[in-house]
Structure 1
Amino acid sequence: MMRGDARSFAPARKERAGDIDRWLTDLLRTACAMPYPRERGDAKGGPLATDERGTTLGVALVAVGSLGRGELAPGSDLDLVLLHNGRDDVARIADRIWYPIWDSGVGLDHSVRTVDEAAKVAREDLKAVLGLIQARHIAGDPELTRAVRETVLADWRADSRRRLAELRDSADKRAEASGELAFLLEPDLRDSRGGLRDVQAMQAVAAAWVASAPGPRVREAYELLLDIRHGLHLVTARGTDRLVLQEQDAVAGTLGLLDAEALMRRLAEAGRTISHAFDSTWRTVDRLLSGPVPRGRRPLADGVVEHGGEVVLARGVNPRKDPVLVLRAAAAAAEAGLPLAPATVTMLANQSPPMPVPWPDEARDALVALLGAGRAAVPVWEELDQAGVLVRLLPDWERVRHRPQRNPVHRYTVDRHLIETAAGAAAYTREVSRPDLLLISALLHDIGKGWPGDHSSTGEVVARDIGAHIGLPPADVEILATVVRHHLLLPETATRRDLDDPVTISRVAEAVGTREVLELLAALAVADGHATGPAAWNSWKASLVSDLVRRVRSVLSGTPLPPAPSLSPEQAALARHGGGAVRVNGGAVTVVAPDRPGLLWRAAGVLAAHRLVVRSAQAASAGSTAVIEFSVVPEYGTPPDPAMLESDLRLVLAGRLDIEQRLARRTRSMRPPRVPVAPPRVTVLEDASETATVVEVRAHDRPGLLWRIGRAFGECGLDVQAARVETLGAEAVDVFYVVDRAGRLLADEDQRNQVRNQVLAALR
């Protein structure tokens, strides 16, 4: 609960506003009742007329700002407008009101205007119009107040395109200057992104009839910020909005909270709630400013489509029957660079059944795909967090959610730091052999900060539990736990130990164990440093870590590549029959055919043309017969007709189907990706096999990827003897055993470079 048991000062603010209103009413009545000496030509001097109820006519006192909204904190100034109908002696009336306020020591921002003058100023000044939109009548002639509000609101709505663009620009500049409230060590409660002024901006958007007014969660967050500001004014005895470090414990005490950490955790949640709603509001505004969006629905994943610039569920999809749908939709949104529609998030949060434990492979793949989208994953992750989805998927996440890091080196709360690190790690997925474990360990590396004790040690324990929870195999759970346990090992050793001392290197090598873990730790160190803040990572530290990694790698033996795939007894039996055979059994597709160049990639092309995604594949041969086993899933919708798929595979084996032309048509119809991904990496390993040259390809998966790689091999005059293809989340890690047309290894350096460049060109 955002507020929890924090004390509310709302009754005190309401009482103070009432007292101020009565005082100002008396001041206006006294000022208007006093006779003024007439001057030559002054036709409107003397006491003002009143109606039958004693209401003063021709003059009105109007509150704007915090008094107008009824949010007056102990140190707040008064923002007042004296409206009049053109009286010549209004300056004297104003003086009779302003001087007693100044004498009381209360700060005052004041103006004197006719209705037309106020409307003119509002049309030209953003601050003025925002105040008058929420103006509140205090005393005097209510018709003047009504007239100015109606005029200002009508102008605001009529010119909403220009004024809302101006409001957005002002909010962005304010956020750039003041930072993001949820993640600042000493936040500005009013001007930071996620602060009080963002809610007031959303209220102004609602007044333009462009978007809905802030909902109950935003109003709760707003009230909490008002209470924190109220407590801050009580502690400091002045009207300040910056919650500095040394005041936080005292402010927490005024709210009845245990300590500053409890206060800042609630503040972070409130700020993120407001910031999230603010972004959603401006997406609505942007649609107004940019005009109508393209019609139609574009499939993104199974049960997920793009509609109107947002990600929604396909027609007829029932979230109650598909626990993985929420992660699949989130991954699709991140990979497309689009927001999840608010109604879709609400539906998924309310209707998704519990995820089976351990998670099915599809759920874990969707999580990895989401994280692998990089920066685009962060807003989608925030959507899931705001809807309460994350803590249901990963119960241990609750311990780090909104947890502040009271350290100037860190610029984010613990949970936001974790997703920022994972997003940053996506850029290094080509540097490691297990991109899925890199992304998951980046997400969990500081998970131990939710428990007492050394967070690396406690994090290892929690990471084991979460690894098993999400269905990782035991060997992968061990790697994950090791990486979390030692995620600070490289930067701390590099900056605090003598790298020329052999003992230093041997101890790191002993802790790391394998080159695979070392490369995971090296990539994580960079992503963690960048996500922490500018003070945590620089070129000096990067060079030291790189030097340490180089030295440790030299004493570690890498895990050798697994041997080239060989035929199982069942596959060997199929191969002995020779000829051609195609079997489609659910997601398993088996192709048996006389071995010839291009067989693998042509078969993969047929699968891509039928909108099937290859999750894994193995190719091997016995004599003159090749056997290829594919594990496939449909991109979206129902799987293709097995009979039609078999027919096309047989046609391509017989050389009677131009699969390249069909795929080219499909490629032209696809939209270019909106989210940048790490560039592909192709490595030619000379000594990994005695019978073939091994080519390792790491790339972001996309339809037809295997076909593109295989076609590039064909253009280089190579034959694929064997292959092991695997997709981890959205990252393809493929290994091919290739020879030239004469069956020889690629011994020439120029030839190896040609292969590398040809495959890279095919992937771009």
Structure 2
Amino acid sequence: MAWVAEARAALGAHDARLAQGFDAGQHIDRLLAARANAVDGWVRKAWARCIPGDAPLALFAVGGYGRGELFPHSDIDLLVIAAANAQAEHADALGRMLALLWDSGLPVGHAVRSFEECTRAATDVTVLTALLEARPLLANIGEVRALMDAIADTRVWPADDFFHAKRAELESRHARFGDTADNLEPNIKEGPGGLRDVQNLRWMARRVLGVYGTEELIALGQLGVDEHATLERERRTLSRLRFGLHLVAGKAQERLRFDYQKALAARLHHVDAAEAEDVENRLVEKMMQEFYRSASVVQRISDRMLQRFEEQIEGEGTLQPLDAEFGSQRGYLVARDDVWPGGDIGRVFDLFAMWADHQELRGLHSQTARALAESLHALPSWRNASAELRDQFLALLRGPIPVRTLERMARLGVLGVWIPEFANVTGRMQFDLFHVYTVDQHTLAVLRNIASFASEAPDERFSTAHAVWPQLRKPELLLIAGLFHDIAKGRGGDHSVLGAIDARQFCEGHGLGEADTALVEWLVRRHLLMSTSAQKLDISDPAVIHRFATEVADRERLDYLYLLTCADIAGTSPKLWNAWKDRLLTDLRSATRLALRRGLENPVAATERIAEARDRARGLLSAHGVDDAEADALFARIPQESFLRGRADQVVWQALGLRDTRDGDVVVRVRRLAAGAQALEVFVHSPDRDGLFSAIVITLDRLGLVIQQARALDGPGGTIFDVFQVLPADPRQSLELASIERKLTSVLCGEPDPRPARRAQPRHLRHFRVPPQIEFNLSASGRHTVFSLVCTDRPGLLADVAHVLRQQGVRVHDARVATFGERVEDVFLLSCGDGRPLDEHAQQALREALLASIDGDMAR
């Protein structure tokens, strides 16, 4: 149809001009209004083409379209007002009109109602919200007034009910996003601090105070001029991001997914579209930091406005004095002085001290929060502050709830002013999958984990941290180390080294002694030491423990570093901490404490360690009715290296698994690393034959288990003695230990299927490419080859690697699997089939086979 073709072409040309205007930096509000105006014109033309001029119908734009803000692919929401008889009479004509608009490429949503039906429909608060934005397209003044009367608060949703319903809706919506805007793929429209929060303030202002926009709140004393200007600035920033996201996605996309981040960053920073794939991560990080900071400011102002709307409904309440300077009003902390802080910036720290002392308070009063925001420019950084102010800040760290106080200071913008380096990392994300939070939010998560160590109720995630905490000489030193450990991210260079310099200056500036300053500086500089040692090295090797203990040097450093490491890993991602990592760090701390107690000049000999382990295991076995003779018989079936590298409880578990079995039997045992933990330990004992390690790895992969660590030892009499630490790939997976044991036993007793399962690569991994790196080195003993693999993670990777190792005739003696977001860093201890290290020819053949397997899978 010619009309549809004309409309489609005209709208397409108009959208193209808007896209050019966007790229040229035109004001976002002009772009939004221009698209709404263009659509208005074609909607009216379609109406005129299909609806008789004397038809008793009225047409309104509602929702975002009614607000006059139309993004490139937003829905076109229409409301037709008509009496029941007119609806029936013109139903076909309305259908033709809507079909025209759809065929023209406009995503139209519509409702046809009488005024009475509008009232009934508006009992749904979502419908009412859309109707509050109603804008007449073809309606007279009487119809506009009639619609407003139909949804008046005397008919549906009085102000107080509307306010509470929309606040509950906001809280529920925020909860869907984890109550944070700092997600790697945030929702610009619906997420915390997004455009919906700004719109929510408009709706509440309309219903509670009867005004049509936030600007009108200024005259009512409900919103400051500066607050309104700030809110509008951030709304425009968010709107520009959303407009650009629609353009690069080519559809109504509200979630800023990895698929679009590089292309949008390229567009916003005027990089040629053909080069979008090559945009440096720093441009993505800059764009995302802009979003996170805008969302944070919107949330801050929204919190204040919600409280003011609540006061309009419930009344201001009576001021209850707390002291001469502060009081409580409706449960909120309020400064009693109308001109607080009145140029005395020390009163800001007094505010946070009072807030910490009165934990029953609901929060900070909106007027005091506004006064605080307006005084931030007068707050000096710690470098320019007086000694008295620095003492006040240090007192907050030593106060009753220091971490909660730091969170409040960060949320209200105070911490970024006091420590400018913290402001630099506020909203800073890293374009990878390991760091799922912005640097500032990760830092606060680390501090919250540290606070949990001091809680009267132990955090079940950490088996030992609660017992270590009381041993700290000065807990505030750990808080300072946590605050500074990542503060130099994004500056270039080693963030640990740069952060350690900042930490030393901060400690010296706040009057800490040299011993305390040196401890904090060392913790920041070496905060990754324990994590990398535990996850990448064999901590059952006495030489590894000795080197680590030498670096740590004393037990005080060890305890502080242990707690900082636990808090850091657990604060990086909700999925990263698990019982296996808890056990690793606990074992490393225990082994290091023993080494320090013995003295670093007295390393434990292997024979002594084996003898001690056998004696401890013998004692534990006696509790199971195993006498010395039976214990010796069981020990004879266990490799000596198990006593050297394994824990006593692990040796006992394995020995009991061998009890009542013969040398040729296949034995499979599975247990949880801790009560209720998802992390499992799998023990396999079987007569040796080619391909067993590959068969076990592939079977575990098919069972949905991800291997974190594997140790493959040669047992006496031509047997294997393998131990695997595994986690479910899906945390929601229900694990039946007996079922895992039966499946593995069945595979090992039959002919193992060497083929790994095929799986599609998850969407989010496709946007991150880690070039494969393969290295071969001779082990310290000279008996094995150490094979290191760094590459992009994907499901089934280890199973495919094990399959390649089998095809190459290579034996695996040990494997350590470390995954950091999209990056895998695996280390294997290998030998040829005859037990010797791999020669250059074998190394080259293995390298080529692995690269072919990895590259082939990445191409799928």
TM-score, normalisation: structure 1: 0.64
**Matched residue, 1:133:** 132
**Matched residue, 1:391:** 416
**d(CA) in 2 for partners of 1:7 and 1:180?**
33
Q: Judge conservation of contact 1:358–1:471 (CA < 8 Å) in 2.
A: no
**Matched residue, 1:363:** 392
**d(CA) in 1 for partners of 2:409 and 2:371?**
16
Mark the CA change 1:424 to 1:291 in structure 2 (over 3 Å): closer, same or farther: farther
Q: Judge conservation of contact 1:63–1:80 (CA < 8 Å) in 2.
A: yes
Q: Judge conservation of contact 1:181–1:188 (CA < 8 Å) in 2.
A: no
Of 52, 69, 72 in structure 2, the residue corresponding to residue 71 of structure 1 is: 69
The AA in structure 2 aligned to 1:198 is D
Mark the CA change 1:135 to 1:70 in structure 2 (over 3 Å): closer, same or farther: same
Of 254, 257, 269 in structure 1, the residue corresponding to residue 267 of structure 2 is: 254
Tell me, yes or no, if structure 1 residue 25 matches structure 2 residue 44.
Answer: yes
Equivalent positions of 1:297-696 (< 5 A) are 297-299=321-323, 303-315=325-337, 319-320=341-342, 322-337=344-359, 338=361, 339-351=363-375, 352=378, 354=380, 356-357=384-385, 359-360=387-388, 362-369=391-398, 372-375=401-404, 377-378=406-407, 380-385=408-413, 389-429=414-454, 430-431=469-470, 432-556=472-596
Q: Deviations over 1:498-555 (max 9, x none)?
A: 2233332233233223322222112212222222222221111112111211222234
Mark the CA change 1:315 to 1:179 in structure 2 (over 3 Å): closer, same or farther: closer
The AA in structure 2 aligned to 1:418 is T
The AA in structure 1 aligned to 2:43 is L
Residues matched between the structures, number = 527
The AA in structure 1 aligned to 2:94 is A
Residue 243 of structure 1 aligns to a residue whose secondary structure is: coil
Residue 322 of structure 2 aligns to a residue whose secondary structure is: strand
**What is the CA-CA distance between 1:7 and the residue it aligns to?**
6.3
**What is the CA-CA distance between 1:277 and the residue it aligns to?**
2.9
Residue 472 of structure 1 aligns to a residue whose secondary structure is: coil
Q: Judge conservation of contact 1:232–1:240 (CA < 8 Å) in 2.
A: yes
Q: Judge conservation of contact 1:7–1:255 (CA < 8 Å) in 2.
A: no
Of 245, 248, 253 in structure 2, the residue corresponding to residue 232 of structure 1 is: 245
**d(CA) in 2 for partners of 1:141 and 1:543?**
73
**d(CA) in 2 for partners of 1:283 and 1:528?**
35
Mark the CA change 1:155 to 1:410 in structure 2 (over 3 Å): closer, same or farther: farther
The AA in structure 2 aligned to 1:437 is L
Q: After TM superposition, where is structure 1 displaced by more than 6 Å over at least 4 residues in a row?
A: 288-292
**Matched residue, 1:244:** 257
Q: Judge conservation of contact 2:300–2:412 (CA < 8 Å) in 1.
A: no
The AA in structure 1 aligned to 2:195 is L
**What is the CA-CA distance between 1:141 and the residue it aligns to?**
2.4
Equivalent positions of 1:47-58 (< 5 A) are 47-48=54-55, 58=56
The AA in structure 2 aligned to 1:194 is G
The AA in structure 1 aligned to 2:333 is V
Residue 582 of structure 2 aligns to a residue whose secondary structure is: helix
Q: Deviations over 1:559-608 (max 9, x none)?
A: xxxxxxxxxxxxxxxxxxxxxxxxxxxxxxxxxxxxxxxxxxxxxxxxxx
**d(CA) in 1 for partners of 2:586 and 2:501?**
28
Residue 532 of structure 1 aligns to a residue whose secondary structure is: coil
Mark the CA change 1:153 to 1:486 in structure 2 (over 3 Å): closer, same or farther: farther
**What is the CA-CA distance between 1:329 and the residue it aligns to?**
1.2
**Matched residue, 1:716:** none
**What is the CA-CA distance between 1:109 and the residue it aligns to?**
0.6
The AA in structure 2 aligned to 1:381 is M
**What is the CA-CA distance between 1:320 and the residue it aligns to?**
4.6
Mark the CA change 1:546 to 1:304 in structure 2 (over 3 Å): closer, same or farther: farther
Percent identity of equivalent pairs: 29
**d(CA) in 2 for partners of 1:290 and 1:382?**
29
Mark the CA change 1:375 to 1:83 in structure 2 (over 3 Å): closer, same or farther: same
**d(CA) in 1 for partners of 2:148 and 2:549?**
72
Q: Which has the higher contact order (CA 8 A, sep 6+)?
A: 1
Residue 80 of structure 2 aligns to a residue whose secondary structure is: strand
The AA in structure 1 aligned to 2:433 is P
**What is the CA-CA distance between 1:489 and the residue it aligns to?**
1.6
Q: Deviations over 1:470-505 (max 9, x none)?
A: 443333222111111111222221222222333322
Q: Judge conservation of contact 1:294–1:308 (CA < 8 Å) in 2.
A: yes
**Matched residue, 2:208:** 209
Root-mean-square deviation (CA, aligned residues, Å) is 3.0
Mark the CA change 1:459 to 1:30 in structure 2 (over 3 Å): closer, same or farther: same
**d(CA) in 2 for partners of 1:463 and 1:236?**
43
Mark the CA change 1:170 to 1:343 in structure 2 (over 3 Å): closer, same or farther: closer
Q: Judge conservation of contact 1:80–1:109 (CA < 8 Å) in 2.
A: yes
Mark the CA change 1:8 to 1:485 in structure 2 (over 3 Å): closer, same or farther: farther
The AA in structure 2 aligned to 1:254 is R
The AA in structure 1 aligned to 2:330 is G
Q: Judge conservation of contact 1:252–1:263 (CA < 8 Å) in 2.
A: yes
**Matched residue, 1:699:** none
**d(CA) in 1 for partners of 2:587 and 2:25?**
51
In structure 2, runs of 5+ residues without a counterpart are 1-21, 210-216, 272-282, 455-468, 599-860
**Matched residue, 1:278:** 302
Of 27, 35, 51 in structure 2, the residue corresponding to residue 16 of structure 1 is: 35
**Matched residue, 2:235:** 222
In structure 1, runs of 5+ residues without a counterpart are 35-46, 49-57, 559-764
**d(CA) in 2 for partners of 1:353 and 1:226?**
31
**Matched residue, 1:183:** 182
**What is the CA-CA distance between 1:201 and the residue it aligns to?**
1.9
Residue 112 of structure 2 aligns to a residue whose secondary structure is: strand
Q: Judge conservation of contact 1:422–1:527 (CA < 8 Å) in 2.
A: yes
Tell me, yes or no, if structure 1 residue 111 matches structure 2 residue 111.
Answer: yes
**d(CA) in 1 for partners of 2:338 and 2:314?**
30
**What is the CA-CA distance between 1:425 and the residue it aligns to?**
1.3
**d(CA) in 1 for partners of 2:162 and 2:373?**
35
**d(CA) in 2 for partners of 1:257 and 1:156?**
51
Equivalent positions of 1:126-165 (< 5 A) are 126-155=125-154, 159-165=158-164
Q: Judge conservation of contact 2:435–2:572 (CA < 8 Å) in 1.
A: yes
**Matched residue, 1:622:** none
**More divergent stretch after superposition (244-253 vs 128-137):** 244-253
**d(CA) in 1 for partners of 2:296 and 2:35?**
29
**What is the CA-CA distance between 1:308 and the residue it aligns to?**
3.0
**d(CA) in 2 for partners of 1:215 and 1:151?**
31
**What is the CA-CA distance between 1:292 and the residue it aligns to?**
7.0
